[in-house]
Every structure is written in C-alpha cells, then in structure tokens.
C-alpha cells in the first residue's frame, strides 16, 4: 500500500468490545501495520479490524498521511476486569522531535472505575494541552464514533457527533497551531501502565489478558500532503477545499450547547484550569481565548 501524508483531515473511528455488526469501510485497504502485526485480525471482507494486547506485545496500525481537512474513524475495547492499557482510538502525528500530533485516546483504569477519554495537541514537539473526560456511556458495550475534525480554523473532537473539545487556530496571536506538517493516522493498543493508570500506580493484571479493541467504519477525508506546497494549497478557500468554507470555521450555536453539556457534566481535567503549579503560574496563552 502506498503511503501519503495530509495537512487537513476529517477522521472518524468506532471502538467496541462485543458488537460484531459490520459498517461499510475497508481497513485492509486503508491501514498497514507499524508493529505487532501478529496481534491483529482483519475480517474476511476487510471491513473490521481487531487489535490484541497480551504480555508479549501490543500493536499499532497506520493509515497514509494527510495535510489538513476533516474527520472519520471508530473503535472499542474489551477487558474482563482491568483496563490498564492505552487505546489510541485515533492519533494524527508527523515525525521527528518537532512533530505535530492530535490525540484521541482511552486511558486505562482499575475495573469498576470510570474510563477516561484523553485528548491532547502537540505543535512542533510541544504538548501539555490535555483535556480529559469520563464517557457518559459504557464504551465496551457497543460501537461509538470518535471523530477528529482538523482544518485551518480549528481542531474539534467529537464523540457520536457531539463536540467535546475545540482547539482554535490563534496562530496570528502567538499560539502555535499544527498546520505546517503532514500527519499520518495511527491506532494502537499498548501497555501504558507506567503513566496512564493514575500516574502508573495501577499495573495491568495480565491474568485478564488478552485485551481486545475492535474497530470499524474507518473514514479519512483529507487533503493529501505533497510537501511544503500543500501548506497553501490545502488552506486556500475554494469550492474543492470544502473544509475551508465558513460553515466549518466554528461550531454552530447548537453544537456549542452540546459541548457545554459534555464539559459541564463529564470533563474531569482541563490544562487551562490546572492550579497545581504545573505551568509555574503562567497560564498558556490560548486559555484566555474563546474555543468554539
């Protein structure tokens, strides 16, 4: 399969534990293995993929690269008693020490405790923009859509069509924004119990392995990365570049209300509201800006 990178993207993935229903997409033609190929399973028609984590290895699959655009992908996790690994539902990332990255992950926890949806943004190798949520549903009971919408105006994270977070482009006001590097799509299942489980306090109970994540309905509508020329081409306003139209420049009033509901009831951490001294009393610049 040929590789390509993109600048703007619309990414959607679905994650589940037990549901076996098929949704029209073909992982076998869209993804390839980065590592751990022996810990995966594609359905015969290529429409579904299953990732497996045991004590010997996890797995990462990748889709060709993008520049910037809009969304599409879905996945789910299964465990009998411990969810202490890290499931990357969708991650966009370039390469190198000064890489850009957009994260959409499940962090592990002790059985019976709420799951954690983890989001983050890296620009030129710098992250520390974490926002976390408890899901308002059981993410192992059925498939759900997890969407990253990335265009020249903003990055939006959606769960089942509800926006949960926005990171707007305030580059002209001194806030770095990921728009100058092509990125690839990654989905992974790996052991992160050194940090993802209450700072590494809880460790995986390998007796409960193997752990399984099932994905279906992968969609990636993107502006293909063809080198530095894509920076201007993918961001130009034209009928072909539908993701640059005004309708995608910010959330609608209805979507703002949906995001407020999610954040008021289910957000458990926001780096902009961190009072632990993590940022040495200097709140990141974007935290004083509107995010919609």
List active site positions: 101, 105
**Angle at the Cα of 120 from the Cα atoms of 116 and 124, rounded to 5 degrees:** 160
Contact status, residue 84 vs residue 205, Cβ threshold 8 Å: yes
Question: How far from 236 is each of 58, 226, 229, CA to CA, in Å?
Answer: 40, 15, 11
Residue of 11, 68, 67 whose CA lies nearest to 243? 68
DSSP secondary structure string, 113-175?
A: SPPEEEEEEEBTTB----EEE--SS-TTTS-EEEEEEE-SSEEEEEETTEEEEEEE--GGGT-
**CB-CB neighbours of 11 under 10 Å:** 30
DSSP secondary structure string, 30-88?
A: H-EEEE-GGGEEE-TTSSEEEEEEBTTB-EEEEEEEE-B--EEEEEEEE-SS-EEEEEE
Contact status, residue 290 vs residue 279, Cβ threshold 8 Å: no
What is residue 27's three-state secondary structure? helix
Residue of 16, 3, 9 whose CA lies nearest to 223? 9
- Between CA 104 and CA 106 the distance in angstroms is 7
Tell me the backbone φ, ψ of residue 131, rounded to 5 degrees. -135, 130
């Amino acid at each position: 399969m040929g590789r390509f990178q993109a600048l703007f993207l619309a990414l959607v993935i679905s994650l589940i534990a037990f549901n076996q229903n098929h949704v029209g997409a073909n992982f076998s033609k869209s993804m390839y293995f980065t590592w751990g190929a022996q810990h995966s399973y594609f359905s015969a028609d290529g429409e579904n993929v299953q990732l497996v984590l045991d004590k010997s290895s996890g797995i990462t699959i990748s889709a060709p690269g993008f520049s910037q655009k809009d969304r599409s992908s879905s996945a789910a996790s299964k465990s009998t008693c411990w969810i202490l690994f890290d499931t990357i539902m969708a991650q966009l990332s370039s390469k190198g020490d000064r890489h850009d990255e957009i994260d959409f992950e499940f962090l592990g926890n002790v059985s019976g405790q709420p799951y954690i949806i983890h989001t983050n943004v890296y620009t030129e190798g710098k992250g520390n923009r974490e926002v976390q949520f408890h899901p308002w549903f059981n993410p192992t009971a059925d498939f759900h859509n997890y969407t990253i919408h990335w265009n020249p105006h903003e990055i939006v994270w959606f769960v089942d069509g509800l926006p949960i977070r926005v990171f707007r482009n305030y580059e002209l006001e001194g806030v770095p924004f990921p728009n100058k590097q092509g990125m690839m799509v990654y989905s992974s299942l790996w052991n992160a119990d050194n940090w993802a489980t209450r700072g590494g306090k809880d460790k995986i109970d390998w007796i409960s392995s193997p752990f399984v994540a099932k994905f279906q309905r992968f969609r990636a509508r993107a502006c293909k990365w063809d080198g530095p020329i894509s920076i201007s081409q993918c961001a130009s306003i034209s009928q072909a570049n539908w993701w640059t139209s005004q309708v995608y420049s910010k959330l609608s009033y209805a979507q703002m209300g949906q995001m407020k509901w999610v954040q008021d009831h289910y957000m458990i951490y926001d780096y902009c509201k961190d009072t632990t001294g993590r940022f040495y009393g200097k709140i990141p610049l974007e935290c004083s800006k509107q995010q919609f």
